[in-house]
Amino acid sequence: MAIIEVDNLVKRYGDHTAVDGVSFAVEQGEIFGILGPNGAGKTTTVECIEGLRSPDGGTIRVGGLDPQRDEDELRELLGAQLQESELPEKLQVGEAMELYSSFYRNPADWRQLIETLHLTDKIGTQFRRLSGGQKQRLSIALALIGNPKVAVLDELTTGLDPQARRDAWDLIEDIRARGVTILLVTHFMEEAERLCDRLAVIDAGKVVAVDSPAGLVSAVDDRQRIRFRPSAPIDHALLMALPEVTDVERAGSQLVVTGTGNLLLAVTTALARNQVVAADLRLEQTSLDDAFVALTGRPIDN
């Protein structure tokens, strides 16, 4: 059952149409990504879902609620982590958790939550003394304090170093394991590929595709390429005879074999049969980056 339904959402700012007929549905328990370049309308879309902006057209339902009409109920159901939202500089982590948990009807145990987010040793630390990664983890903790069914995380890992980013990814998977549906806004390909069950690619206010990361890639191009240095000369016709192979090329001392399906297994088996060893073997697949270029006509601009 879809927990978030967005149907033909439109949002304008003056003459500029920031969101132009966006539709998608998020199933309960999945990590759903919204991927797109800066200014594509990602944040505006989730702000409409969060009830922070009123749409100019279309409908939104979150757990059956209309974010505009049923705002009070929505607040108990949906936890939001916003871009550029801070806390008072001298508020301590523990004080923030205690305060925010008092806002909800059925709050989570904030000490346990802080433990999960590895902030227990920071309970007495003031917000201004936290590192970027710690601030982001606190921000996630505050988004989850009300025991929400849905968590919206907007550009969560922007500005984090690679290690902190990987930690945040592990954390998001943990949260999903607790049964929380996650709507993740990102412009990082790696993040989308690693975390999302499905994603909507948004460009210039429109959805250009909704699929799993693998689905997006294969819809664009399922060709693979194998490069290797053969230990002994091998007849190209031998490889071309394989049904998986579409092309064989020589590039210096290397052989480049292009094909589809289970290409790697087919080629290595054929080589082994002919007592040829493939040195420096590399398999190149179409990436989500390639898929994005194919879908939008340009690379994602970080």
Partner 1 sequence: MSTLSRLTLTETKLFFREPVGVFFLLGFAPILLVILGSIPSFRDPDPNLGGLRVIDLYAPIIVAMTLAFLALSGLPQLLAAYRERGILRRMRTTPVKPARLLGAQLLMFTVMAVLVMVAVLAIANLAFDIALPRQAGAYVLGYVLAALSMLALGLLVAALAPSGKGASAIGTLLFFPVLFFAGLWVPRVSMPEVLRKISDFTPLGAGVQSLQDATAGHWPQLLHLAVMAGWTIVAGGLAARYFRWE
Q: At what angle do helices 213-220 and 288-296 cross, to 10 degrees?
A: 60
Q: Which of residues 167-196 bind partner 1 (CB under 8 A)?
A: none
80 binds partner 1 (CB under 8 A): yes
Of the listed pieces 32-40, 98-106, 200-208, 247-255, which binds partner 1 according to CB under 8 A?
98-106
Our CA dihedral for 157, 134, 83, 74, rounded to 10 degrees, sits at 110
| Residue of the chain from 63, 79, 205, 259 that contacts partner 1 (CB under 8 A) | 79
84 binds partner 1 (CB under 8 A): yes
Residue 7 or 95: the one with the smaller Cβ distance to partner 1 is 95
| Residue of the chain from 105, 162, 252, 280 that contacts partner 1 (CB under 8 A) | 105
CB of 35 to partner 1, least distance (A): 22
103 binds partner 1 (CB under 8 A): yes
Q: Rounded CA gap, 159 and 46, in Å?
A: 20
Of the listed pieces 28-36, 76-84, 177-185, 273-281, which binds partner 1 according to CB under 8 A?
76-84
Q: Which of residues 120-149 bind partner 1 (CB under 8 A)?
A: 142-143, 146
Q: How far is CA 14 from CA 17, 18, 56, in A?
A: 8, 10, 11
Residue 98 or 289: the one with the smaller Cβ distance to partner 1 is 98
85 binds partner 1 (CB under 8 A): yes
Size of the site for partner 1 (CB under 8 A): 26
CB of 75 to partner 1, least distance (A): 4
Residue 15 or 72: the one with the smaller Cβ distance to partner 1 is 72
CB of 16 to partner 1, least distance (A): 19
Q: Rounded CA gap, 242 and 267, in Å?
A: 8
70 binds partner 1 (CB under 8 A): no
52 binds partner 1 (CB under 8 A): yes
Residues within the interface to partner 1 (CB under 8 A): 50, 52, 72, 75-76, 78-80, 82, 84-88, 90-91, 95, 99-100, 102-105, 142-143, 146
